[in-house]
Amino acid sequence: MICPVCKNDMIVVEYNNIELDHCNDCHGVWFDSTELELLLKCMNLQSQDMLLEDILKSPEAESTEKKRKCPICRKKMKKTNIAEHPGVLVDVCPQGHGLWFDGGELSQLLKHLAGKQPAGQDSQQQILSFLGEAFKAET
């Protein structure tokens, strides 16, 4: 798959049967349509407003960032915020193919969601550590 930001080939990183496409250059991550939900489920962070269909329905965010093209259908993606604090601006394919997180945005989102959960969730910390290593993000 080709990175929608820097146009380089991405690598596939697998964790618990979830295959994520990661760009080693810009550190962005592509989630196919159900992969974010699977990752959140693995972390016990299910959130009703994190389903792709709900993200697609959310309003487009104002941004000076250039619109990215979906790596699958090549249509321009919609920019939308999916977390209130801190606001995480992601690109979502209008055809429902998936979500693009720029470098660091996924880590931001997961830390935000994990902060809303009761303490002592070992699986959450394991996944955050894995993502930090795999995507060179701070956990």
State the pLDDT at residue 84. Answer: 66
- CA gap 78, 7 in Å, rounded: 18
Global confidence as pTM = 0.79
- Domain assignment present for residue 132? The answer is no
- CA gap 49, 71 in Å, rounded: 24
DSSP for residue 77: P
- CA gap 79, 93 in Å, rounded: 9
What is the domain count for the chain?
1
Name the pLDDT band for 48 (thresholds 50, 70, 90): low
* Helix residue ranges per DSSP H, 83-121: 105-115
* Enclosing domain of residue 66: 11-115
Q: Is the pLDDT reported for residue 137 higher than 50?
A: no
- Domain assignment present for residue 53? The answer is yes
